[in-house]
Amino acid sequence: MKVAVVLGTRPEIIKMSPVVRELEARGIDHFVLHTGQHYSHNMDRVFFEVLRLRPPRHNLNVGSGTHGEETGRMLMGIERVLAEEKPDYVLVEGDTNTVLAGTLAASKMRIKVGHVEAGLRSGDMSMPEEINRIVADHVSDILFAPTEVSMQNLLREGLDQEKIRVTGNTIVDAVNQNLSLTEGRDIRSELCLDRYFLATVHRQENVDSPERLRRILGGLELVSKELGREVVYPVHPRARKRISAYGLHVGASVRMVDPVDYLTFLMLERGADLILTDSGGVQEEACILGVPCVTLRDNTERPETVEVGANVLSGTDPQRILDCAREMLRANVGWQNPFGDGNSAKRIVDSIER
C-alpha cells in the first residue's frame, strides 16, 4: 500500500503531522505532496523543520492567486505527481483549495480519497471553504469525521454511513505531541510578556473587507484598553498587506508581530488569558488547551466549542467583541474537550489498512 498526503497550508501541516508520524511508525510507504498554497518560509517550510517532519517529497510552489488560478495550477501539478507515484490512497485535510484540487485530481484518476476532518459545516455558502469541504466530502471514498456532529451533517446530506468513520480530530493528537517539543521554553520571557490576550485575523471575509477589518482592529484595541491586557497579534502577510493598503490604524496596545513558528504559537495560545480569532483551527486549539475564545465571525463550523462553553461568536462589532471578551473571561474553564482522546491518527491509519 502506498499513501499520498496532500497538503498546502500551515493548518494542514499541523493537523496531518500526527498522520504522517503514524504512517512512518508503521513503516507504510507514503509521501507528502505540498502544493505551496500561500507559501512563505515562516509559515510553511519551517513548520516541517520545527515539527521534526521530513520535508515534502514534492512541492508545487503554487503560491497565491485567485481561486481559479490556484486550483487550476494545483490540479495540473497534483495530477502529474500522482501519475508518477501511483499511490493507492490520497489523504487530504480540511477545506482549502488544496483539498479541493487534491480530491478532484485523485478521484478522476480513480485513486481512493480519504478526507480528514470531514463533515464540518458553517451553513454559509459565501465562504469558499464551505464549498471546498462540501465538494470534497461528496467525492471522497472515506470520510474521517472528527465528531458525532460532523457525522450527522454528512448523513443529512445523504452520504453513505458505510463511508464515515468518527475518529476524533487530529488537532488533539497534534497539540499533545507538539507541546512535548516545547519543554524548557518560557514564551513570556522570550517575548517580554506579562499577562496578555492573543489575536489572529486572516480569513478572506474579514481581511478583504476594509470595514470588517477596521471594526475588528478597533475591537482589539477596545478590549486591550478596557480589560488591561496587551493584545499580541501575529500578522498573516495577507492581513498586513490589507491593513497597509486600507490605511487602517492599529492601536499601540495591540502588538503586531511577524508570523511565528507553530511551537511558539502553541505556547502563546497556552499562556494567553483569552484568544480572539477568526481561525477554525485556533478555536479548536483554544478549547483543547482550556483557554477562553472569542471568534471574530458570525458563524462557525466548530459548534462543539460553543456548546461546551469554550467559545462565543462576536461578529465584528467592537462593542460586541468587548462584551464577548468580558463574558469569556468570567467563563468556567472546566469544559470537556469534544474533539477526542488524541488517538485520531491511529484510527485513520487503521481504517486505511483495513
Residues with catalytic annotation? 202
Distance from C-alpha of 182 to C-alpha of 190, rounded to nearest angstrom? 13
Q: Among 216, 266, 35, 13, which residue's Cα sits nearest to residue 116? A: 13
- Residue pair 172/341 in contact by the 8 Å Cβ criterion: yes
For residue 268, give the C-alpha cell. Answer: 502563546
Residue type, 115: H
Grid cell locating 40: 512563505
- Concatenate the DSSP letters of all residues of 161-176 into one string: GGGEEE---HHHHHHH
What is the spatial distance between Cα 253 and Cα 229, in angstroms, rounded to a whole number? 8
Contact 19, 170 (CB under 8 A): yes
What is the three-class DSSP state of 246?
helix
Q: Please, how many CA atoms are within 13 Å of residue 277, restricted to the half-sphere of its CB?
A: 26
Place of cell 482592529: 217
